Each structure stands twice: as C-alpha cells, then as structure tokens.
Amino acid sequence: MPEMRHLMPEEIRLHGEVAARLQRAADNMHSWIGTRSGPTLIGDTADYGWGADFQGRWTESMAILSRSVDVPVPDLQRIADGMLGHQRRDGSFHTTLHTMVQNGNSRALAALVEMYRLGRDRKYLRAAEKLAGWYDRNFRKDRDASSWLTMALEAIVELWKETGKPQHLALARRFAQFTRRQCERGFPEHTHAHSVALSVRGLLAYIIASGDRRCLPLVVRTWESMQEETVWVTGGLPEVFTNSIEADEPCGTADWLTISLQLWQLTAKERYIAAAEKTLLNHLWFNQLPNGGFSSTSNIEQGFRGLEAWWCCSMHAPLGIEKLTRYACTYSARVIQVNLFLPADMTIPLREDLAVRIEQRTDLPRDTHTRLTISPEREAAFALRIRVPAWADAAQVTLNGKREPGGERDGYLVLRRRWRTGDVVDVDFRMRMTAVADVQGSHDRWMEAPVVIDGVACKAKRIAVTWGPLVLAVFRPLHGNDLTWVYRGGYNEVLDAGGMTGSTGSCRNYVGLNGTIYSDDAGNKSLLGPIKITTSPKGVRLTWKEALGGEGLAELHYEVRVLPGLPLRIEDRETLVIKARAKRPVRVESLLLAGTRFTERSEQYHDTYKRIWKYEYPPVQIASAGGRRRAIRDGNVVATNGRLEMGNGIFDVRVDYDGDARRVIELRRDDWAGVYFAPAGKASRRLTKRTTWTVRRRLQFSCEDYAERTFMPSEWTHGLMTQPINTA
C-alpha cells in the first residue's frame, strides 16, 4: 500500500455533531475576550506564573479552528499581536526560567507557527524563530530534559516544516532525544499526564516529519504501557500518571487521541484508530460542557463531570477533535480510504488533474448506517476502501441501490470500478457487543475482583459494556456492581453510584434478617464465586451471587442484561433466597430490593491538590406512568401500575417492573434519593422454610442531543472547588 495522505482542514467541511461541538468550543473561547482575568488574554505574560500558556493556547486553538469553523479572525489577530508584544529580547515570554515557563513558551511557539500559517505574516515566523533560539541556547544537556520542556517538541517540528532550516531540525532532533530517554526511563507515579502525552506527540511528529523511525518501537511500547496502566475503559486519561483515578484532564485525553492517530498513520494498525475513535466518542464527548468548554476533574468512578477548565482544557481539547477529522479520509493517487464515519463533505485531490468529492451522511455510532456519495470531476477509475472497524461483526454494502459483494482486505471493504458523479455507496454495520475490564486506579484498597468474561478470568475494578465503539454502561464490581456510567448521547452521568471519599456508598438493596441490615454500604455482604459475563449479539449478561450472614443464612442472586442499541436498555432480575428451616428459623424485618437511585450530592478527593471536590445535583422526581412528577418523600409508598418514571433534570429513566414487587417504597438520604421494591407482604415475619422472592426490572434511559436538558449550576466555579481535606 503506498503512503496515504490525510486531509487538510480546507479539504473537509464538517456537518452534524462534530461541527456543532467545535463551533461551540470556538464560540466559548471567543466570549472570553474582555471577560477573563487571572490569567487574561491581554495582560503581560510575565505577570502569569505560566507565562504565555493561556494566551498561547487560546491563539493556537483559535488559529487552527478558524480553518474548520467560524472564528472572527480580526479578533484573533488582535489577541495574537497583543501576545507578541510581550515577547522579551531573548525570545522568551517571561522573565524567569522554570518548568511552568517552559510549558507556557511551548504554547506560544505553537501559536506563532499557526498564526504564520493562517496569514503568512512573517512577523509571527520571526517571533517563532526567536523563541526557538531561546530553547536552543538554554537547553542543551540531558539534565535539562523533563516532560515540561519537551512539550515544545511538536511546535519545534512544525517550525522546521515551515522554515526548512538546519538549526531547527537540529533542535528538533535534540528534543526528540530528550523525549526518547524519558520513554526509556519510564514515567514515575504522579507525573503530569498532559506534559508527558504532549511530549510523546512531539516525538511522533518528529518521526513522521523526518522519516527517522528508529524510535517507533519505543513509542509503541510506551503506548502499550499507557493503555494497560493508565487509560480508562472510556478512553480517557487521569491528570497524573501512571495509575491514578483521582480525576481526568481533557488536555491529556486529547493528546492520547492524537498519539493514537499518529501511530495509526505510521503503522496502519486498526487498534490505534479504534483507540482514537473510542476516546472521542466516549470520554471527550463526556467532557464537553453545554457552553462548549471542557470539564476537568471529571471522574468515571462516580460518573460525574467537573468544572470547566477554561484555563487549559477548553482550549486544548478541541485540537484533538479537529486533528481526528483530518483522518476521516486518506488517499494516494489511486486509492481513497474512508476511515472514520463523520458527516462531512470532503474534496480529495486524488491526482493533479483529478479531484473527487465525497459526501458522507451518517449518524454513526448512534445508528448503524453511513452513506457515501462519490463525485469525481470526471469519470475515473480508483479503489474505494471503507474501514470495517473491530467493533463491527460485519458490514453490508450496496452500490446505487444494488447489493455489492465487495471483498474485504486488511480490515477494509474494497470497491474497484470506474466512478461516475453521483454514485452512492451505503454501508450498514452489525455492531458488536463486548465487555472489557480494567484495574486502573490507586484510590481503592482492593486490587481486584473475581470476574470471568466469556470464560476468561480477569481482574476488574470496572466493567465496561460496549455496543460498537460506544461505552453503554460501566459497572463497579467492588461496589456491589453498581452502575456509574450510562450512555445518553454524550452527557453520561451517575445513576446509583456513591462517592469515593466521605459520602454515602452505593446500595442496591436493604435486607433485614435476625436484627441485622445487610446492604452494600454496610459492607456486610460477600461475593460468592465470580461475576460471570457472557457476550452475544443479543446483549451482555452479568450474573453473580452474594451471601448475607454466616452459615448460609441467605443469598442474593443477580442477573443483569445490557441490550444492544440506543436508547440504553437494561434488564435486571434480583432474587433473594432465605435458607430458613424449622430448626433454624429466620426473622425477616425488612426487604427492600432492586433500588433505582439517583445521586443528589457527590464528592471526590483530588490527591494532587489535596482537595475534596463537591457537586450538587437537582432533586429527583418520580411519577407513575402517565402521572405528574413530584419530589421523592422518604418512606412514602408509591401507588403504581408497574411502570415508574424518574428524573432529575439531567436525564430520565423509565422503570418497568414485575415479579414479587408488592410495594414500591421511596427513600431519601443526604446524598441520594430513589425507589425500592418490597416483595414481602408484611413488615416482619418468621420463616421456617426456604423462601424465594424475585423482582424483575426493565430500565430505559433517555438519549438526548448532547446539548439538550443538561445541567450546570452557576455555583460550579473555580472558587467552589477549594475545600481542604481534614488531615487531623
């Protein structure tokens, strides 16, 4: 296969969700002009501890996005020129030299190169060369090397691509060696993930631009290590390496996406483009807030998003998304590859005398279909290769309405013919259902849970159920297998998960036997055998058992099935077996099973900043089917006909139930509210024989447009997130 070229921004016009999200991100950044302070877009960069980091990130991001979405270029130039006025005589944008300034200067260098590309104004190129000279003079020895320094490598490579000057190539080569040695040593705990990932991005940019592939095996091993030790099942990165679950940072997550794309460009291996796709569709979409900014300190362990990190992530995260769009199609002189399924119009300069327009219309991955309209300037022969992702079991292709056998090769459907204007290719994918476990995270005292996926035993702190590239649900085996992630169109939130630090734990049921209440938050239930998971085209099935009390007093048996498709549907069956007999009677004081809970207050501990992050959610409301919603009242018995509707202003769930559900009881606590099913007819009874109760539920979750019905209170400000840990 000849070398494939990716699209340039001017060769692709985005539509649909990707276009809307990028535009919203740009609009959010533009709204900061004249409103942000500490840091500010117009102040002296030497007055900010991170130097030109804020102004550089803003300028770099807006310059790149201006080629894809609507950006007021005069305002961009005004901010860029203002930043340029703060450059010192030595080339730096600060008066001191430390790691934070290295970071800030790296973003200034990237911004200057992108501003030069935007309008070919040589004042930006001269300033970039001057800043490169500052790097060249000050950082020549190995002892200088750190990930904060080598964040500049990618920008240095981009500068060399513009100037072609030997001194810029030599500087890029030296910084590539610094980064290579970092990868060889490995990255210790509590290393800043964004600085590491951006440095690795730079090393890959150097490999691609220079053609020197000697470091490629090392970068592949680094990627594999990050994937195994750090990346979450949703494709996101924590703020610190290597094994932390404290909180994420979309800057690092966007870098991880870009690293995966670069490795795919160099190797053409499916695993890399699939990783980039997973990161975008799950974790980065989850991170974006309704105003277009991106949240930091989000946490899949509890399923909530944090505050907007406007000082970095709102500017850097969109760059990973924009980078991915360039790989929607790649091409050589006789081949066009469709790699990603984004609604877009693409004009591909296939040969000097031939351009091909491709219109892709799709709602993948929420749907299973994509349509490609092929329009060459004139009738022409070439091969059209359409990726069949690993997340699809099969693909069916029609050409101009007729079934096309199209052979598959190296993960692509291949159609070879003479193409005419208006030829239409339709592809329908059969999405695969999978389950994936991970053990990422240092916060929990447990190291593993016994889990068996399709007969293979594995460790697990989280179990992700996927449909195609989407993570539909995430369960926590060590917390009663509660549900912390529910896919609902990009805003994926907590259902019944409790907090990590200081708050009430999750609780699926409360069973009172012989004077003791057995519950997940009391920690007096124990797992019997493994959690068994089986996957099939019909869904993913999880089964497990828990023991209540010693000497075989009682057991809870669970069966949960996550069904394919959207909106997300989960079938749940919970069976309580009381092992009573005449010689060993069991007194049942209370039975509350199959709780459906919404968090109303969450918190987490951030072990880098030594803070507790707190989040308040709207109150939960409930209604019987077709009834009017009202607030949940503790201890209230719900009159219902077998269907409930619950919601909190963020998302809704419909609960259909049957079996031994004699009563529906509302519960409210400090941190959550929900409903439980009571199968026993009496509050208290004495059993002298084995007795079984079963409750069955069918849950269906709302799936909205990402910007609809979302919740972000005005109190979610930087000042709110400053409550210190009580270390006494």
**pLDDT of the residue at 711:** 44
Least confident of 27-41, 51-65, 291-305, 422-436: 291-305
Least confident of 298-302, 366-370, 712-716: 712-716
Statement: residue 195 has pLDDT above 80: yes
CA distance 442 to 188: 14
Could you tell me which of 360, 404, 351, 403 has the C-alpha nearest to residue 378?
Answer: 351
Statement: residue 530 has pLDDT above 50: yes
CATH number for the domain formed by residue range(s) 139-287: 1.50.10.20
538-561 per-residue burial string, b: 16 or more CB within 10 A, e: under 16? ebbbbbbbbbbbeeebbbbbbbbb
Mean pLDDT on 206-235: 95
473 burial (CB, 10 Å; 0-12 / 13-18 / 19+) is buried
**pLDDT of the residue at 716:** 41
Mean pLDDT on 276-291: 92
Q: Whole-prediction pTM value?
A: 0.94
pLDDT band at 47 (very low <50, low <70, confident <90, very high): very high
Name the helix (H) or strand (E) containing 171: helix 166-185
Side-chain half-sphere CA neighbours of 473 within 13 A: 32
Statement: residue 166 has pLDDT above 90: yes
Q: Which residue has the tokens 């950082």?
A: 139
**How many other β-carbons are positioned within 10 Å of the β-carbon of residue 175?**
27
**pLDDT of the residue at 718:** 38
CA distance 51 to 93: 6
* Alpha carbon distances (Å) from 728 to 78, 609, 692, 724: 51, 17, 47, 12
The tokens describing 504, both together, are 């009430």
* Alpha carbon distances (Å) from 625 to 230, 362, 645, 655, 678: 43, 34, 6, 9, 19
265-301 per-residue burial string, b: 16 or more CB within 10 A, e: under 16? bbebebebbbbbbbbbbbbbbbbbbebbbbbbbbbbb
pLDDT per position as a tens digit, 703-725: 876 555 444 444 443 333 333 33
CA distance 15 to 370: 14
Where in the chain are the domains? 139-287, 335-431, 436-724
The tokens describing 290, both together, are 């309704």
Q: Is the bond into 376 cis (omega within 30 degrees of 0)? A: no
Could you tell me which of 433, 293, 430, 300 has the C-alpha nearest to residue 364?
Answer: 430
Mean pLDDT on 381-386: 96
Q: Is the bond into 318 cis (omega within 30 degrees of 0)? A: no
Q: Which residue has the tokens 């039975």?
A: 591
* Residue 634 three-state SS: coil
CA distance 67 to 341: 20
CATH topology of domain 436-724: Beta-galactosidase; Chain A, domain 5 (2.70.98)
**pLDDT of the residue at 617:** 77
Name the helix (H) or strand (E) containing 382: strand 380-387
- 523 contacts: CB under 8 Å, gap ≥ 6: none
Q: Which residue has the tokens 């889990």?
A: 451
Statement: residue 130 has pLDDT above 90: yes
pLDDT per position as a tens digit, 649-687: 777 899 999 999 989 999 998 888 999 999 976 667 899
The percentage of the chain sitting over the pLDDT mark of 90, rounded to a whole number, equals 70
* Alpha carbon distances (Å) from 525 to 301, 516, 519: 21, 11, 7
**pLDDT of the residue at 300:** 75
CA distance 410 to 397: 17
* Alpha carbon distances (Å) from 36 to 46, 92, 146, 311: 17, 23, 30, 9
Pairing of strands 335-338, 380-387: parallel
* Alpha carbon distances (Å) from 429 to 282, 389, 577: 19, 9, 43
The greatest distance separating any two alpha carbons of the chain, rounded to the nearest whole angstrom, comes to 93
CA distance 247 to 602: 13
Statement: residue 193 has pLDDT above 90: yes
**pLDDT of the residue at 296:** 84
Q: Which residue has the higher pLDDT, 228 or 714?
A: 228
Could you tell me which of 557, 479, 564 has the C-alpha nearest to residue 521?
Answer: 479
Is-contact 375 346, C-beta < 8 A?
A: no
pLDDT band at 348 (very low <50, low <70, confident <90, very high): very high
The tokens describing 636, both together, are 């209230």
Beta strands in 549-581 (DSSP E): 554-562, 569-578
pLDDT band at 128 (very low <50, low <70, confident <90, very high): very high
**How many other β-carbons are positioned within 10 Å of the β-carbon of residue 385?**
26
The percentage of the chain sitting over the pLDDT mark of 70, rounded to a whole number, equals 90
Statement: residue 302 has pLDDT above 70: no
CATH number for the domain formed by residue range(s) 335-431: 2.60.40
* Residue 196 three-state SS: helix
CA distance 432 to 393: 6
Statement: residue 161 has pLDDT above 50: yes
**How many other β-carbons are positioned within 10 Å of the β-carbon of residue 405?**
9
407 burial (CB, 10 Å; 0-12 / 13-18 / 19+) is exposed
What would you report as the CA-atom Rg of the chain, rounded to the nearest whole angstrom? 28
**pLDDT of the residue at 725:** 37
Distance between start and end Cα atoms, the chain: 64
Q: What is the DSSP letter of 629?
A: -
pLDDT per position as a tens digit, 627-659: 899 999 999 999 888 999 998 877 789 999 999
Letter for the amino acid at 541?
R
CA distance 272 to 284: 17
Could you tell me which of 656, 452, 459 has the C-alpha nearest to residue 542?
Answer: 452
**pLDDT of the residue at 625:** 78
Q: Which residue has the higher pLDDT, 248 or 371?
A: 371
Is-contact 18 342, C-beta < 8 A?
A: yes
pLDDT band at 179 (very low <50, low <70, confident <90, very high): very high
